[in-house]
């Protein structure tokens, strides 16, 4: 809490502590004081790390497993049982939903289903997570289940259609569970930015004091952006380190086992199970050490109805808080284009290097993807306080890199051109350029978004990203699936992603960060008598 008469209290260590912990008869102080401690931040980073081992293998090795098995049980179109090729231009179909589809479309159709499930569940969970003590409970339980459903993979080792369906079912279940923890984990970022001032106070003061014409509260929020970059990047790096651990297991197994030179399929299965075990253990540890984020009591016991009502009210708040919506829509479009492009790119890499024979290379490619992503976000974290560039300037730079790489992929549509991700060298260049930019932009999005969120609705607005993704997230994979099913060329599905990226850039241009920070100071219109819910100090205005 700050007043116009004493703006410097926000940047004085002792004064800030006094202001934040003060209480009046009209002040309610939830049980989340420990957010100001280093222990709380480390506990949150452990939780972020815990999801990495399973997430890393789920996004890279499970599609590879599905691709290998679908290729093995599929056949060349127009034949009864002619085996499919395993390298180069592969034309292969597999049964799906009472008909046959391209074996890569099989994976893309599963992504359509998983995105729809994620969006629907996030719609419900994000709508009630800010109430009571649901945030930590929902998050930890979903993380443990996320790892638990990865455990059975190593038990199914044969390339049969039955196992293909089993893998697909487990993958869809994991996607559903991940819908619970993803927005809740991210919702801790704005809480740390607002309630903890210890982890980058000098940079926060520097940024705020560079804007003397702003109101004291607005200066404080702009200062939060500076030290929020560190929390955002560290949480992403923590998750990446968890992914590196499980992917490293895959690299070691594939490159040391006798079968790895011919087929890394079983190496993938073992790495998936190992990643799930690590997630379960670390998720349980996070339950013990992460502080409980107690919000206001839920106004209704009918939580599904309450969630839908809150989401409706959230959409109505567009006129009062337009900037979070603008950024969120641009973020959703970029994230959809990025995830769709990455999924197609990974499948294309295995076709170019060879299914089975190129699996050792694929494990290294997947491993380096996460390593370079971590380096990219860390580099941006170090550069931001020293380079006089606005946050949106960084966003435009990272988006330009993504546009260039996607455009390069679409060039491969022309069979006469020798480029367009048709050679292994192109994938390695893309890896070195795009992976760092993608991770840095993800961290940047989280910081900008957290800075413009109304108090007391952190999980609610954080879930808005995936909620809006419900409307678009499944469309991209569906379009890609249909295109791939018709063309049997993985470069064609990259074309709609190029269009999505162009539209996303338009929303980033429209978004006004400074205006959003000012609007974030206006109390949430649904708060009772102007009480700002969910903060360390809830005070009547």
Structure tokens at 459: 């999980």
Q: Do 456 and 533 contact (CB within 8 A), yes or no?
A: yes
Enumerate residues 6+ apart whose C-beta is below 8 A from 321.
452, 454, 516, 519, 520, 522
Please name the residue that has the structure tokens 């046959």. Answer: 100
- What's the confidence (pLDDT) of residue 307? 72
- What's the confidence (pLDDT) of residue 539? 27
- What's the confidence (pLDDT) of residue 524? 56
Structure tokens at 430: 């893309």
Q: What is the DSSP string of 394-422?
A: HHHHHHHHHHHHHHHHHGGGSTT-S-SS-
| Domain boundaries defined on the chain | 41-296+316-522
CA distances from 530 to 130, 221, 461, 521 (A): 17, 19, 19, 12
Q: Return the closest-CA partner of residue 536 out of 122, 40, 6.
A: 40
Please name the residue that has the structure tokens 């090795």. Answer: 61
- What's the confidence (pLDDT) of residue 36? 65
Q: Do 341 and 58 contact (CB within 8 A), yes or no?
A: no
Residues 366-418 pLDDT 10s: 999 999 999 988 888 887 767 767 788 889 999 999 999 999 999 999 988 99
Enumerate residues 6+ apart whose C-beta is below 8 A from 128.
134, 298, 303, 306, 307, 310
- What's the confidence (pLDDT) of residue 529? 33
Residue stretches of the chain with pLDDT short of 70:
1-37, 126-134, 189-190, 193-229, 258-263, 293-296, 303, 311, 316-317, 385, 388, 455-467, 469-473, 522-541
- The rounded distance, in Å, linking the Cα atoms of 145 and 54 is 11
Provide the whole-model pTM.
0.76
- What's the confidence (pLDDT) of residue 297? 73
Cβ atoms < 10 Å from Cβ of 469: 25
- The helix or strand, by DSSP H or E, that contains position 393, with its residue range, turns out to be helix 391-410
Rg (CA), the chain: 24
Cβ atoms < 10 Å from Cβ of 511: 24
Q: Do 403 and 502 contact (CB within 8 A), yes or no?
A: yes
Kindly give the interhelix angle for 424-451 and 359-383, rounded to the nearest 10 degrees: 40
478-501 core/surface letters (b: 16 or more CB in 10 A; e: else): bbbbbbbbeebbbbbbbbbbbebb
Structure tokens at 168: 């697909």
Burial class from Cβ neighbours inside 10 Å (0-12, 13-18, 19+) for residue 233 reads buried
Residues 128-154 pLDDT 10s: 666 666 678 788 898 999 999 999 999
Enumerate residues 6+ apart whose C-beta is below 8 A from 155.
none
Q: Do 459 and 135 contact (CB within 8 A), yes or no?
A: yes
Fill in the DSSP letter of residue 101.
Answer: E
324-358 core/surface letters (b: 16 or more CB in 10 A; e: else): bbbbbbbbbbbbbbbbbbbbbbbbbbbbbbebbeb
CA distances from 117 to 33, 211, 335, 466, 471 (A): 35, 44, 17, 11, 12
Q: Angle 405-345-178 (CA atoms, 0-180°, nearest 5)?
A: 110
Structure tokens at 246: 């499980």
Q: Do 109 and 481 contact (CB within 8 A), yes or no?
A: yes
- The helix or strand, by DSSP H or E, that contains position 96, with its residue range, turns out to be strand 93-96
- What's the confidence (pLDDT) of residue 18? 34
Please name the residue that has the structure tokens 């895959």. Answer: 250
The torsion defined by the Cα of 352, 358, 361 and 366, in degrees rounded to 10, comes to 70
**CATH top-level class for 41-296+316-522?**
mainly alpha
Bridge partner residues of 538 (DSSP): 28
- The rounded distance, in Å, linking the Cα atoms of 122 and 398 is 27
- The helix or strand, by DSSP H or E, that contains position 95, with its residue range, turns out to be strand 93-96
């Amino acid at each position: 809490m700050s007043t116009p008469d004493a703006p410097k209290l926000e940047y004085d260590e002792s004064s800030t502590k006094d202001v934040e912990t003060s209480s009046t008869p009209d002040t309610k102080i939830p049980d989340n004081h420990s957010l100001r401690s280093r222990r709380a931040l480390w506990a949150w980073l452990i939780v972020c790390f815990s999801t990495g081992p399973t997430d890393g293998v789920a996004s890279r090795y499970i599609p590879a497993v599905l691709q290998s098995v679908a290729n093995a049980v599929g056949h060349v179109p127009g034949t009864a049982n002619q085996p499919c090729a395993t390298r180069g231009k592969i034309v292969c179909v597999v049964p799906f939903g009472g008909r046959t589809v391209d074996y890569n479309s099989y994976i893309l159709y599963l992504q359509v289903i998983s995105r729809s499930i994620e969006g629907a569940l996030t719609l419900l969970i994000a709508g009630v997570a800010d109430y009571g003590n649901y945030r930590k409970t929902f998050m930890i339980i979903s993380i443990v289940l996320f790892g638990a459903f990865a455990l059975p993979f190593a038990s199914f080792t044969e390339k049969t259609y039955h196992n293909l369906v089993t893998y697909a079912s487990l993958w869809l279940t994991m996607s559903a569970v991940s819908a619970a923890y993803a927005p809740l984990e991210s919702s801790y970022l704005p809480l740390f930015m607002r309630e903890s001032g210890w982890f980058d106070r000098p940079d926060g003061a520097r940024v705020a004091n560079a804007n003397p014409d702003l109101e004291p509260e607005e200066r404080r929020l702009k200062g939060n952006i500076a030290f929020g970059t560190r929390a955002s990047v560290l949480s992403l790096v923590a998750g990446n380190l968890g992914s590196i651990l499980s992917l490293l297991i895959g690299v070691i197994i594939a490159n040391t086992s006798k079968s790895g030179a011919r087929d890394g399929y079983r190496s993938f299965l073992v790495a998936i199970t190992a990643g799930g075990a690590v997630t379960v253990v670390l998720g349980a540890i996070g339950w013990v050490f992460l502080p409980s984020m107690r919000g206001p009591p839920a106004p209704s016991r009918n939580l599904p109805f309450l969630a839908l009502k809150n989401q409706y009210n959230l959409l109505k708040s567009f006129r009062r808080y337009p900037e979070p919506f603008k950024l969120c829509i641009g973020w959703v479009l970029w994230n959809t284009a990025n995830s769709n492009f990455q999924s197609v790119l990974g499948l294309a890499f295995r076709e170019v290097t060879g299914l089975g024979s190129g699996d050792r290379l694929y494990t290294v490619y997947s491993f380096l993807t996460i390593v370079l992503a971590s380096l990219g976000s860390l580099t941006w974290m170090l550069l931001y306080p020293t380079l006089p560039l606005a946050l949106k300037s960084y966003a435009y730079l990272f988006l330009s890199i993504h546009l260039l790489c996607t455009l390069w992929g679409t060039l491969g549509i022309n069979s006469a051109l020798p480029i367009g991700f048709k050679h292994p060298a192109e994938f390695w260049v893309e890896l070195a350029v795009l992976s760092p930019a993608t991770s840095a932009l993800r961290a940047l999005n989280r910081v900008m978004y957290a800075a413009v969120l109304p108090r007391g609705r952190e999980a609610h607005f954080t879930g808005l990203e995936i909620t809006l993704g419900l409307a678009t997230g499944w469309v991209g994979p569906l379009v890609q699936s249909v295109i791939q099913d018709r063309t049997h060329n993985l470069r064609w599905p990259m074309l709609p992603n190029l269009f999505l990226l162009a539209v996303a850039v338009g929303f980033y241009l429209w978004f006004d960060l400074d205006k959003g920070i000012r609007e974030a100071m206006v109390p949430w219109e649904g708060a009772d008598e102007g009480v700002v819910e969910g903060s360390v100090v809830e005070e009547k205005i």
